Amino acid sequence: MTPEAYLEGQILLIDKPLKWSSFQAVNKLKYALINKVGLPKKFKIGHAGTLDPLATGLLLICTGKFTKRISELQGQAKEYTGTFFIGATTPSYDLETEVDQTFPTEHINEALIHETVQQFLGEIDQKPPIFSAIKKDGVRLYEHARAGETVEIAFRKTTIHEFEITKIDLPEIDFRVVCSKGTYIRSLAYDFGQAMNSGSHLTALRRTKIGDYNVIYATDVTLFEDQL
């Protein structure tokens, strides 16, 4: 593809690896396009929706004039698959931090799990994790958390369009979720455990779709440069 094509605008489907930040993935593509395609150093490039370092999957990266479409793409429904670990919580609601509490699981069975799913379908109130990039008083929540500060986090409206349990092998539960912009799957994991009178945290997460874009058509970020 020519430099002009990238400047006119492209949406690149990238499969983000585990432990990469979304920023690192964008930078990898940016320098590959500068060095191999000959794009100017200050060309426009950005992603349409952050993925946590501990998540893998679909990242939409827009170039040139298509960076104007980022907010439109961010607003589309997203599909995720992943795993909840039942019976324990962590402060970050995932594996970024160590287990801080354990809970009973003897009462949990398949019927209770499927019954609990129904509580989370449709519009729900959700509290973002303290370990998130949302700003409170001009400071990101994860900075408050790492400083050991307690802050009040407001509930936000979000919509769960589909929520399916795909495998039960306690203490692990595999799931598939289709949700609106701004949904935290880590918070869903935490709230799901609470709703079953237990605890839960997220141990695996993969974004599989954003709107009509599917990760099966995405390129691994580490292979992108080789394909230019």
pLDDT, one tens digit per residue, over 141-168 is: 656 556 666 667 778 999 999 999 999 9
Those residues whose C-beta lies under 8 Å from the C-beta of residue 25, and which sit 6 or more positions away, are 14, 16, 47, 59, 61, 221
pLDDT category, 134, cuts 50, 70, 90? low
Average pLDDT, the chain: 92
Distance CA 225, CA 144 (A): 37
Question: What burial letters (b/e) apply to 32-41, b meaning 16+ CB within 10 Å?
Answer: bbbeeeebee
Assign residue 87 a region (left: φ > 0; alpha: ψ between -120 and 50; beta: otherwise).
Answer: left
Q: Does the pTM of the predicted model rise above 0.85?
A: yes
Query: Does 186 have pLDDT greater than 80?
Result: yes
Average pLDDT rounded to a whole number, residues 109-130: 94
Can you give the pLDDT at residue 154? Answer: 78
Distance CA 45, CA 68 (A): 10
Alpha helices in 33-77 (DSSP H): 70-74
Those residues whose C-beta lies under 8 Å from the C-beta of residue 37, and which sit 6 or more positions away, are 1, 2, 3, 6, 228
Query: Does 137 have pLDDT greater than 80?
Result: no
Can you give the pLDDT at residue 18? Answer: 96
Query: Does 23 have pLDDT greater than 80?
Result: yes
Distance CA 135, CA 124 (A): 21
The residue among 174 and 134 whose pLDDT is bigger is 174
Provide the annotated active-site residues: 52
pLDDT category, 128, cuts 50, 70, 90? confident
Average pLDDT rounded to a whole number, residues 53-74: 96
